[in-house]
Structures are given as C-alpha cells and as structure tokens.
Structure 1
Amino acid sequence: MTMSTLHGTFRRFIYIPTSISFTITQTYTTLTPKISLNSFECMKKNTKSNTYKHLLSQHLNSQNIEEARTVFDKIPLPDVALYTMMVKGYAQNQRLGEALNLFYEMPSRDIISWNSMIKGCLDCGDFVMAEKLFNEMPEKNVVSWTTIMNGLLQLGRVNNAENLFCKMPNKDVVAWNAMIHGYCSHGRAEDALRLFEDMPTRNVISWTSIINGLDQNGKSTEALLLYQKMVRLGVHPTSTTVMCGLTAAGRISALQVGLQIHSHMFKQGYFFDEHVSASLLTFYANCKQMEAAHKVFHDILHKNIVMWTSLLSGYGSNNMHEHAIEVFREMTRISVLPNEFSLTSALNSCCGLEDIEKGREIHTIATKLGLVANVYVGNSLVVMYTKLGHINDGITAFKKVSEKNIVSWNSAIVGCAQHGCGMSAFAIFNRMLRERVDPDEITLTGLLSACSHSGMLQKARCFFKYFDQKGSIEMTIEHYACMVDVLGRCGKLEEAEALVRSMPMKANSKVWLVLLSACRMHSNLNIAERAAKQIFELEPDSSAAYVLLSNMYASKSRWSEVASTRKTMKRNGISKQPGSSWLSLKGLRHEFLSGDRSHPLSEKIYQKLDWLGVKLKELGYVPDQEFALHDVETEQKEEMLSYHSERLAIAFGLLSSVEGSTITVMKNLRVCGDCHNAIKLMAKIVDREIIVRDSSRFHHFKNGMCSCRDYW
C-alpha cells in the first residue's frame, strides 16, 4: 500500500481540512519509517477478526447456525474464542454431535472452551458426556466444578452434588449459591439454611436464594426473619429479593412485615418496577386488603397486563368475583389484550359467581385470541363448564387443550364423576394411561367418585386394590371415605363399617358421616346410631350428624327420639343448616328457602307451583310423605313437600327464562326423594331440561327421567 493510498484511506474516515492536510501528510510521512508495516498488518488482521466475530455473533444470536458455519469456514485461522463461539452455537441449537466434533477439531483448547462444551452437553441433556469431559479436563477452575455440580442438581442427584461441592478445591460465592439453590429446589431447606450460615461471604443473590427457598418449602416465617436480618446488616435487596419477601409475607398474611417491605422498596426506588408492583398488589390481596391493593394499582402510571391480572386475581381470591369481572371488562374496554392468566382468573370468577353466560362471553374472547388450546385457559373452561352443569361443553373444552397436564385429565375425570358419567370418566382415564400420564391422588378420588355415583362397586374395588398395592400414590383418608361411600350407596353397610374400623389411619368425623348418610339412604338405624356415636365423640357440634339421625327417626315415625335429638341440639346451641336453592339469571343470583315468600315474584311463583301440582297429579304423582319430616297432618306434609326450596327455584326459572331453555338450580343439601320424583315429571310437563346440583352430584332431568337413574 502506497502513502497516497494510505492518506486517502484515512481521509475517508476522518475529515481533514485542506489547509492542514499537507502538514498532516508530511508529519505522517515523516513518522512512517518509525511505524512497522507488520504492525499495520496486525491491525488489519485484528479488524478482520473482529468483523468475523461480529458476523458470527449475529448469526448465532439469530439461531442461523448454517450461515454461522459458512462464516466460520471462511476464517483462515480461527482462534480458540471463535471455535468456542461456534461450539456453543451448536449446543444451544441442540446439535450436540456437531458441537463435539468441532470441539475435538480445535487445535488448542482453553479452560473456557472446556467449560462451554461441558455446559453444552448439560443443556442437551447428556450428563454422561459432560462428566466424561469434566474428568478429562487438564485443568479445572471453580466454573468447571460449579457447572458439573449444577448438572447433578438438575438430575436430582443432590447427594452426588453435595459430595462434589465438598471436594471442590476452591469455592466462590457462585458455587455456594448454586448448592443452596439446589438444596431448596429439592425440599432440603434445612440443609440450605445450614450451608447459608456456613458461607464465608455472601452477596445479595445468596440472601435472595435462601429467602425464596425457605418460602417455597413452607418456611415463610423463617424467610421473613432472614429478610429483616439482611436489611439490618445493610445488604441492599434487588427487585427480585423484594418480590420474594412480599411473596413470603403474603403467603402467611404477615401484613406488618409486608408493610415494612413496602416502605423499604419505596426508598430503594423499586416502586416503578412492574414485577415488584405486581407482587405488592398480590401481597395486599393475599392479606385481604383489597382497598390497598386497588390503591397500588391506581398509583401505577403505566399499567400492563401483569398489573391487570394481579388485580383481577386478587379480587377472585377474595371471593369478590363481581369486582373481578368488572376489572376484566374494563381491561378489555381499553384494549388491554388478556393473556392466558387473566382469562383463567376471569373464568374462575365466573365459576365462583355460577354465571354461565359471563363464562361463555369470556370463552368467546379466548377463542378470538386463539387461547382455548392453552392448558391454563382450557383447564379453567373444563372446570367452569362441569361445575356449572354443562358436562358436554366441559368435555369439548378438554379435547381442545393441546398439551394436557395432570390437572387437565383430573378436571375431566372429576367433572364426569360429578355428573354420574362413570363410563366417560373411565374412558378418559384409559386414554390418560395410554399417553403415559401418571395418575395422582386426585385421579383416584375422581375414579372412586365416578364409581360411587354410577353404582359400580366392582370397578371401585379394582381401582382401590390396584392403587393400594401398586404404591405409586399415597392412599389418604379421602380415598377411604370415597370407598366407604361406594360401599354404602350399594347397600354394603356392614362391609363399609368394617372398612372404617380397619383403616390404617384413625377415621375422622367426615368418614363416619359418609357412613351415616348411607345408613339414612338404606334406613339402617342400628349402624346409623353407632356411626353417630363416633361422630359426636370426634365432633360434638356436628349439626349434619344430628340432622341425619333426627331425619331417620322421623322417617320411622319415632317422634320421641326426634324431639330428644332436637332438644339436645338446642341445649348445645347447634342449629340446623337451612336447605336453600338458587339460580343465576342475567348476572343476578336468586336464592330461596323452603316455604319462602320473600321474593318479589312470590305470588307468581306459588301460582306456577300450584299449576304444576295439578299437572303432576294428572300424571299419577303421589307425594312421598316419608320425606315430610314433621309430626303433622297429611295435608300439611304434602304442602311442606310442595314448597321445598328447589321447587321454588325451578318455578322462578320457568317464569323468568326463555321458553325451552335449560334451567340450572344449585342446592346446598341433598335433594329429597320426593322432590327428585316430582322434578322428573316437571321436566316432562314443561318440555325442558332441568339441571339440579345438590351436595352430592348433578341431576339432569329430561323427558320424565334423571341422568342418575334414581341412584344418588
């Protein structure tokens, strides 16, 4: 290259006024003999190397691995750094074989390239190769040891990681933090705390890891004590530390500590961090301080979907479902697009409100956004539809979930069980097994419940025995209660009582209450009295046990025992839970008690019931006075039965809904046998489907029949 060419090259990069250009040229010419041309060639080479490095980095960051390799192959003599970049690129694209080939082709390797290759093997899931490389390393540093230790922790080999940690010749704070995080991630919070206390030096990540780890392992109080200690020691928390502290405070409703963290985060300047603000909002919601949560939301200048979802979920978790739906509507009104979490919260609130119409509106929004296949949205749709009486819609939503998790399968199985669709529940379970999804405790509960509501005793015995012997899940008292329910409903009361007495754990009042309820169904007073005695010993104030026993005495016209039982209840201050039924129409809930005349449409409701009474008698209906549990005259018994709460709700539904539409009524107690018979005929008279969910299950009444086939 000539001097004139050089001069022209420099002028392209630097503006040089004409008046002084000659002087600069002269000066440069004068100095040129003192600057080696080899040095200039070296500058050119470095520039070229940086260009290659830049191009390679661009392609690798864009995951254009083939283009990156093309650039790499054009480099005359790539150095170890360029080789390492390419090796990492292959590993990050899950092309481990090519990464290893290139690694072994390297003319020389430094410790960074060894560590990068080991991490690449771990990222690609090949721990054996990672361990082999680690053992082959001529020289290891703390990063090498920490990388392989993290690999062991990812595989759940905590003891091996612990041994490796002890063998490390040098440990930096990163290695200590990694081991603490590993302990916490695998439920060994005590070991993590011990290690934390032994640390020679700690950084804020150390504090954050142990605070979060303790909280995640059910030690939120200890986590908050450490947070306070950290602040006293003058360690400045990061935004993540603050979030962990707020989460721990919210989990145990530690309002005062949370208020201190709120004050501290304000001083630290984290108030404008969207994730910290969302955590603060959630903290107040968990502490049932929704006014404070709303104020935090109001004070946020730039509200994003995270904030909206936090507020929405907060209202939902506090059973303020109307407010939650209002938040969702306001959010969509100002064009904040819902995500899967906000949709899930909104659907859960629709379920809480038992408002199927609002739920369908949100389902439509989810469909437009293409989120019905999302596992969180899909699961919420399944739960909402099945809990509100629409099992077919629930199963349709289940089928649309693209990547089902255990919650998806359990929601569908439990939903089918609640509606008495035993065969559908078993079909879903079989498909679940074919797709190699391991059942859990909830799966077994759902299967036993399906057997109970469908009268499938042998199926229940098979499931119970299979899971008990397999040992893949822990058999809980809930499972035994379900099995007692199956036996009891099928009339196997002696066997049910024997199972209760032979359980590996002590039976609680709930299990005995299940048996007592079965005795009421089959009118077995002897076992009922024994079950009731056990309940009163465990739970003296159990109103349900007193009522069931009293009703059994009344059904057998043993009025003195009825009076004695009620007298005992009165003396002990035990009140009977009143039977109530309700339905939601146009976003409003209408609730009725037996014989209730407080509703604005009471006159029309009773007229409708009287009209239905005439039609029922025309079809041959005769009231079953066994369910009129008072010592009164026959006419009074018939009148009392005619105005049970579910009948009032159905009459209101007939008056207030579109002709031909389905009426869905919820009831807090078990529907009585007489009402069950009457509603079957009512559905036929009005030519509508009537759905009643009682404390036991769903009943779908249509054309004079019930989906439970008179078995509930």
Structure 2
Amino acid sequence: MSHPSPSAAEEGVVMISFRATFPSLRRTRTRSFPSSWLGSCGTSAQLCKRFFNRASYAARDGPAVSAHLRNGDPDGTREVLGTFRFPDVRSVTKMIAGRSQNGRLGDALKLFYETPVRDSICWSTMIKGCLDCGDLMKAQELFDKMPEPNVVSWTVMIDGFSRFGQVERAEKFFEQMPIVDLTAWNTMLHGYCENARVYDAVKLFEQIPSRDVVSWTSMIGGLDQNGKCEEALVVFKRMFESGIAPNASTLTCALSACANALSFPLGVQIHCHVFKSGFCLSVFVCASLITFYAKCKRIEKSTQVFNEAVSRNVVICTALLTGYGSNGRHEDGLKVFSDMIRKSVLPNQSSFVSALNSCCGLESLDRGKEVHAPAVKQKLGCDVFVGNSLIVMYNKCGVIDDAVAVFKRIRKKNIVTWNAIVCGCAQHGRGMWAMELFSQMIRGLVQPDEITLTGLLSSCNHSGMLQKGRCLFRYFSENTSIELKHEHYACMVDVLGRYGKLEEAEDLVRNMPLKANSIVWLALLSSCRMHSNIDLAERATNYILELEPHCSAAYVLLSNLYASANRWGEVSRLRVTMRDRGIVKQLGSSWVTIKGQKHLFLPGDKSHPLSENIYWKLDWLKMKLKELGHVPDKRFSLHDVEDEQKEELLFYHSERLAVAFALISTVEGSTVTVMKNLRICGDCHSAIKLIAKIVDREIVVRDSSRFHHFRSGICSCGDYW
C-alpha cells in the first residue's frame, strides 16, 4: 500500500523532533532532493529514519569512499554509495575527484551532472578535474555556468590557464577577480615563473600585499628555473632579512640555486641551517644537498650526506647516482643503481636515465643491457625519457639495430627521440635510414630543429649523398626559421669536401653570413688532406692559426699532408714550430671494454699482460692478409723511415692491437667493438675489412667521427668516410 508524501509542515515537525533526539547533529545542513532521489515516503517514522541515514552517512560510509579512492578504485565508491539512497555531496565530490585523477573525465562529468545538489567545492573539483585531464575548454564552460564562482574557482582557472601556457588569459582572470586572496597572488606568480615570464613575476612579487613562505619560495624557485640563480639567492637573503622562516621547499630551491650558481660558501651556510633546524630529515632537502655538493665537485660530501640520511628512498639514491655520473665516477653510480635494485628501491625515470648515462660514459654495452632489463620489468622501456637514453646508449655502444628497435617501441616520441635516432643513424653510416626517418618526422608534423639538421647533414657526409646534402642545406636555410650555425656550415663544407668539391666548399666558407671559425676551416683542411690539395690546405691553416694560434689539429693535418707528399723538410719545420710553441700532438689510442674492464692500447704498445698472445695473433693475421693479396699503403705511415719500417709501424697501430686483443679475449662468432680517439687510418681500414672476413666475425670500430661496421670484407661506410 502506497503512502502519501509528507507535507512541508510535517517535514518541519519531524526535523525539529529529529534534532531534539540527536543534539549532536543540530548543525547538519538540510538539503532538498528531487523525487528520483527521495522516492516514496509514507509515515513520519519513515521520514525520520531517512533523515537519520543521511546525517550519519559521512561518519559511516565516508571513510569507505576515501579508502576506495586511495586504493585507486573509484568504482568501489559507487558500490558503497549504492547501499545508501541519499549520498552526501562531500562524498560525491570525492568520487568526482577520484575519477578525474584516474583520467576518467567522462565518468566524472556524468556523476557531476547527476548530482542533485552541488556546492562550490563540488564545482571547483569538477573544474580542476577537467584541467587535470587536459580539457581547458570544458573547464571554462563549467566555470561560466557556475552560479556563484568563489575565490577558489577563480584561482583554479588561473592555474589552469598557466598550465596550458595561456598566461594572458590567466592575467585577465586575475585582474577580473572580485576578491583576491594570497593563494591567488601566489598562483599567478607561479604561472609567470612556469612560463618564463620572469620580469612579470618579479613585478607581481613586489606588489603582493603580505607575502608568505609560499610567495618567497615560488619566486626563488622561479628565478632559479629560468637561469637566474644569482637573483634567486638575492631573494633568498631578503627572505631571511624579512623574518620569514624558510620551509623544506624553500631550502630545496635555495640549494638548487647555489648548485647552479656554484655558490659553495652560501650552500654550506644553508647546510648548517638545515642541520640546526632539523630539515635534514626531509628527503628533498637531503637530495638537494647531494646535488649541490656534486655540482660543486665535492662528491665526497655528497656521499657523506647520503650515508647520514635517515631514509634512502628513490629520490636520495637517484641524486647520488646522478652526482656520481656528473663527476665521471660511473662505476660508483652504477653500484648505487645496483644497490637500489638489490634493496627493492624501485628506480624511477630519472634513475634509469642517470644509470644509462653512466653506461654511455663507460661505453659498456653489457652494463647498459643490465639497466635495460629492469626498465622493461617496470614497464618503462617504452617511456619516452628512458627510451631516449636507451637509444643514445645503444648508439654509443655500437649497436644501431637495438637503438632502432627501442625507437620503434616508444609510443609518444618527442623531438629528442627523433634527433637521437637520426644522429645515431648518421654516426653508423645509415644515411638512407636517416632520410626515411626525416620523412616520417615531416609526415608526423614533428618540427625539426638545428640538431635534426646537423644529424641529416652528417648522414649525407658519411654516405656520400652530395645532392641530398645540398637540397637539405638550401631547404633549411630558406624555408624554415632555424638559424644556421657554425656547426651546420662545417657539416656542409665536409659534405662538399669529402666529395672533392673543394672550390665550392671554399666559396661557401668565404661567403657564409657568419664569420667562419676554426671548426669550419678545419672541416675544409680535413678535406684537403683527403684529396691532397696542399695549396688550399696551407690557406686554410693560416686562417685557423689566426683564429686559434695553438690549434694542434691544424698543425697535425698539414704535417700529415706534407708527409704523404714526401715533403719531409716541411714536416720537420712544423714539428719544430709546435715544439717551440709548446703545442703537443694528441697521441692516438684505442681501447676495448670487456666484462666492465677497459683495456687501452697505444701504437706499438707491449705493456699489456697478454702482449705476447696479441702479437702472435697479429703475426698470424699478417700472414693471412698477405695470402689475400693485401699490400700495406705506405702513404699512411707518416714517418721518414725505410719502407720495411713503415710496414712494421702500420701493422702495429693501436686499433689493430685492440682488435687482436678482442679476438683472443672473446667468444668465437661474437661481435668485437673497438673505440679510437682519432680518425682510423686508411691502411687500417683496408686491413680490418679483410680481418673481419678472415675470422668470420663482425668488427665495429668507432673513430673520432663515426662507427665502422666491418663484415665479410665490407665496411658499412662504403669506403667513404
């Protein structure tokens, strides 16, 4: 049997009776609900029971809603609320926030529109949810529909505009605010700093009526992030003078500014304050101290702070790992990373990036793969930041195929991703791959930058693609906003010079809008050495020495050119000049990294413990090379000695010693990777091609400009390097 709904008078009587019965709920605000939520209600007793259920919801079911949201289960909140017919607006607001935080904007909006009563907190939460999910237009639409926007909703919109880079709209909102509280001032200040509007930030900061610690911290951090670390430290000193006590965030920003400004004395003073005030318990302050000492080249102090830290979480461990890497202590950095894995401290993006950078520093492919494995387990192998570092690591360790495989798996590629793989392909002689990737960039509407152009020109340089190089250089100089720099002209000179277009290369140097520096002239001089053009080489050398009188590379290149032409008198004159001016020629060296240990070799070196075996292997290879008809090219022996001695000197170049050592120290059939600090000589290049065929293995040699992949008597460079 249905019962009639209670009249307004009956409701009022019941409510008075209800509050008399439950005094603790007298301040409960009553709300009117539509019939779809109220349902049918017959007797006064039933109405009283419904009021009791509604009033007791927050105490009974509110914690359950919060628990589901904390556990990332917004759907569970619906089940909790399903057991109660009158959801409290506060709990519905929590549900909206939970769905927004999980990227479920559509569900959050549906729940918001279904809510019969929405207070200002609910409106502001929904607006913030739209911003968090990247829908600025919907956020403004809701703001415009909000019955009475309060200072919180205005501030949320200002923050949203700033996050989307629309600072002008944020300014307009800020100026239109009916009431401006300190939070709004701080939000606008933060927006200016995040969008590099430093001058406006400083101007606004000076206008804030009563600054709090957040205001000062935002200003210090904003100046530091925008490259004005010295000004940030001035503001920090002013803060102390004004009597505002810094909090952990302030000290973190100040230490970052000290690190960037290399202000060691002030940083030490802040460290003393940290110790006295008890902020040494703060994870972020400790991490900032570690970074500060590392940037100031006091890595031992960084280690001390780390050892004294109360808790060693991922933030502190990553700070030390990065600090070791920036100080060249890559082995120590990777030890920290290994300790993190062993002690179940899950590395984050920054941890993996720093660890991979240390692997690059060690040029250790094995260590890089050891870091790659846990990244995949944590589903960070496809992350753009970790992926970019993996591409660079595989490139530098000579495995371009693995770099391409990582590139393909990255879902959201940025310009750094594209540049890393394009430059990697260029270094490894994959010119056509680089061109195809550039085409994909253009089709994907990815805007290339100056690094992209450098990589593309390098790929043309190392692959003999003269016409493509000319077209690219012309296209970027005439049709893009990219400002061509010296390195771009040097690359183009190299493209022309390696192809033998020396006159065109010289014209480019003389007519370029920038004044040619030593790097551009060195590119031309290197081409002269390749094509034995002594006259142009002498002119280029004179220009280089005018700009950089102690440039050893210019002396060495010209001396080598004279030596190859048997002009030994000129060679002696240059060597005397170098000695008189204190200019030292860089000694050629090669090295191999096996099981984490680096083995360095110099020309004719016999200091290695396995020298006897190395030279036996070289003699065996010499015999096999003669059987294949290899004749040493004595032009690359740059010493005035007899022909037999020239052959002997050529065969014991550092790269051949390193190759022989790697062959006797690694498993049959595995790839051999050798690193060299100078350009590989032409005779070694010819010999190693045949050695790769003799031993039936891939031999990778990285010289000062590129990687050479030798397989079955062929090099990836096509003999064009």
- TM-score under structure 2 length normalisation: 0.86
- Deviation track 1:103-160 (CA, whole Å, cap 9, x = no partner) reads 7888887655654555455445454455456556665543344333333323322233
What corresponds to 1:515 in structure 2? Answer: 524
What corresponds to 1:18 in structure 2? Answer: none
2 CA distance for matches of 1:628 and 1:201? Answer: 76
CA apart distance, 1:94: 6.4
What corresponds to 1:49 in structure 2? Answer: 54
Q: For residues 503 and 164 of structure 1, do their structure 2 counterparts lie closer, same or farther at Cα, with a shift above 3 Å needed? A: farther
2 CA distance for matches of 1:497 and 1:57? Answer: 77
The correspondence for 2:623, drawn from 589, 605, 614, is 614
2 CA distance for matches of 1:310 and 1:503? Answer: 45
What corresponds to 2:33 in structure 1? Answer: none
Greater mean deviation of Cα atoms: 202-211 or 35-44: 35-44
What corresponds to 2:21 in structure 1? Answer: 40
Q: For residues 113 and 622 of structure 1, do their structure 2 counterparts lie closer, same or farther at Cα, with a shift above 3 Å needed? A: closer
Greater mean deviation of Cα atoms: 616-625 or 52-61: 52-61
- Report if the CA contact (8 A) 1:56-1:71 is conserved: no
2 CA distance for matches of 1:538 and 1:441? Answer: 25
Greater mean deviation of Cα atoms: 416-425 or 463-472: 463-472
- Deviation track 1:20-40 (CA, whole Å, cap 9, x = no partner) reads xxxxxxxxxxxxxxx956633
The correspondence for 2:688, drawn from 679, 682, 687, is 679
Matching of residues 633-648 of structure 1 within 5 Å: 633-648=642-657
Matching of residues 117-516 of structure 1 within 5 Å: 118-128=127-137, 130-131=139-140, 134=143, 140-516=149-525
Letter in 2 for 1:278: A
Q: For residues 486 and 57 of structure 1, do their structure 2 counterparts lie closer, same or farther at Cα, with a shift above 3 Å needed? A: farther
Q: For residues 328 and 126 of structure 1, do their structure 2 counterparts lie closer, same or farther at Cα, with a shift above 3 Å needed? A: closer
- Report if the CA contact (8 A) 1:52-1:75 is conserved: no
1 CA distance for matches of 2:439 and 2:477? Answer: 18
Letter in 1 for 2:459: A
DSSP-derived class of the 1:582 partner:
strand
2 CA distance for matches of 1:345 and 1:98? Answer: 39
CA apart distance, 1:701: 1.5
CA apart distance, 1:393: 2.3
CA apart distance, 1:405: 3.1
Letter in 1 for 2:245: H
The correspondence for 2:74, drawn from 64, 86, 95, is 64
- Deviation track 1:664-690 (CA, whole Å, cap 9, x = no partner) reads 111111011111111112222222222
- Report if the CA contact (8 A) 2:65-2:91 is conserved: no
DSSP-derived class of the 2:590 partner:
strand
- Report if the CA contact (8 A) 2:256-2:292 is conserved: yes
- Deviation track 1:447-494 (CA, whole Å, cap 9, x = no partner) reads 221111111122222323333334254433322222222122222222
CA apart distance, 1:53: 4.8
The correspondence for 1:598, drawn from 586, 607, 618, is 607
Greater mean deviation of Cα atoms: 422-431 or 181-190: 422-431
Q: For residues 326 and 89 of structure 1, do their structure 2 counterparts lie closer, same or farther at Cα, with a shift above 3 Å needed? A: closer
- Report if the CA contact (8 A) 2:58-2:88 is conserved: no
Q: For residues 57 and 476 of structure 1, do their structure 2 counterparts lie closer, same or farther at Cα, with a shift above 3 Å needed? A: farther
1 CA distance for matches of 2:566 and 2:271? Answer: 64
1 CA distance for matches of 2:624 and 2:111? Answer: 87
Greater mean deviation of Cα atoms: 104-113 or 222-231: 104-113
Over aligned residue pairs, what C-alpha RMSD do you find?
3.1
- Report if the CA contact (8 A) 2:54-2:88 is conserved: no
- Deviation track 1:391-445 (CA, whole Å, cap 9, x = no partner) reads 2222223333344333332222221111101122223333344444333332222
DSSP-derived class of the 1:271 partner:
helix
Matching of residues 571-586 of structure 1 within 5 Å: 571-586=580-595
What corresponds to 2:35 in structure 1? Answer: none
- Deviation track 1:279-334 (CA, whole Å, cap 9, x = no partner) reads 21122122221111111111123322332222222211111112222333334344
1 CA distance for matches of 2:504 and 2:464? Answer: 16
DSSP-derived class of the 2:279 partner:
coil
CA apart distance, 1:219: 0.7
CA apart distance, 1:68: 4.1
2 CA distance for matches of 1:324 and 1:107? Answer: 57
CA apart distance, 1:502: 2.9
What corresponds to 1:692 in structure 2? Answer: 701
Letter in 2 for 1:548: L
Q: For residues 233 and 498 of structure 1, do their structure 2 counterparts lie closer, same or farther at Cα, with a shift above 3 Å needed? A: same
- Deviation track 1:510-569 (CA, whole Å, cap 9, x = no partner) reads 121112111211222232222222211211111001111111122222223222222221
Q: For residues 58 and 613 of structure 1, do their structure 2 counterparts lie closer, same or farther at Cα, with a shift above 3 Å needed? A: same
Q: For residues 591 and 155 of structure 1, do their structure 2 counterparts lie closer, same or farther at Cα, with a shift above 3 Å needed? A: same
Greater mean deviation of Cα atoms: 660-669 or 425-434: 425-434
CA apart distance, 1:654: 2.4
Letter in 1 for 2:595: K
2 CA distance for matches of 1:179 and 1:516? Answer: 55
CA apart distance, 1:56: 6.8
2 CA distance for matches of 1:314 and 1:69? Answer: 49
Letter in 1 for 2:417: S
CA apart distance, 1:211: 0.8
Letter in 2 for 1:64: P
State the percentage of identical aligned residues: 57
What corresponds to 2:549 in structure 1? Answer: 540
Matching of residues 630-669 of structure 1 within 5 Å: 630-669=639-678
- TM-score under structure 1 length normalisation: 0.87
Q: For residues 615 and 83 of structure 1, do their structure 2 counterparts lie closer, same or farther at Cα, with a shift above 3 Å needed? A: closer
Greater mean deviation of Cα atoms: 320-329 or 241-250: 320-329
2 CA distance for matches of 1:199 and 1:685? Answer: 77
DSSP-derived class of the 1:222 partner:
helix
- Deviation track 1:201-255 (CA, whole Å, cap 9, x = no partner) reads 1011111111111111111111122222212322122211111111121223222
CA apart distance, 1:163: 3.9
Letter in 1 for 2:499: C
2 CA distance for matches of 1:105 and 1:330? Answer: 51
2 CA distance for matches of 1:106 and 1:369? Answer: 39
Q: For residues 124 and 347 of structure 1, do their structure 2 counterparts lie closer, same or farther at Cα, with a shift above 3 Å needed? A: closer
- Report if the CA contact (8 A) 1:177-1:205 is conserved: yes
2 CA distance for matches of 1:440 and 1:447? Answer: 11
- Report if the CA contact (8 A) 2:349-2:380 is conserved: yes
Greater mean deviation of Cα atoms: 414-423 or 388-397: 388-397
2 CA distance for matches of 1:205 and 1:344? Answer: 31
The correspondence for 1:710, drawn from 695, 712, 719, is 719
1 CA distance for matches of 2:701 and 2:173? Answer: 62
- Report if the CA contact (8 A) 1:127-1:151 is conserved: yes
1 CA distance for matches of 2:106 and 2:339? Answer: 53
2 CA distance for matches of 1:369 and 1:114? Answer: 37
- Report if the CA contact (8 A) 2:702-2:708 is conserved: yes
2 CA distance for matches of 1:608 and 1:97? Answer: 70
- Report if the CA contact (8 A) 1:52-1:71 is conserved: no
1 CA distance for matches of 2:589 and 2:368? Answer: 24
Q: For residues 313 and 556 of structure 1, do their structure 2 counterparts lie closer, same or farther at Cα, with a shift above 3 Å needed? A: same
CA apart distance, 1:91: 6.1
What corresponds to 2:8 in structure 1? Answer: none
Across the two proteins, how many residue pairs are aligned to each other? 677
- Report if the CA contact (8 A) 2:258-2:264 is conserved: yes
2 CA distance for matches of 1:498 and 1:221? Answer: 45
- Report if the CA contact (8 A) 2:639-2:646 is conserved: yes
CA apart distance, 1:495: 1.9
- Deviation track 1:620-657 (CA, whole Å, cap 9, x = no partner) reads 22221211222222222222212211112122222333
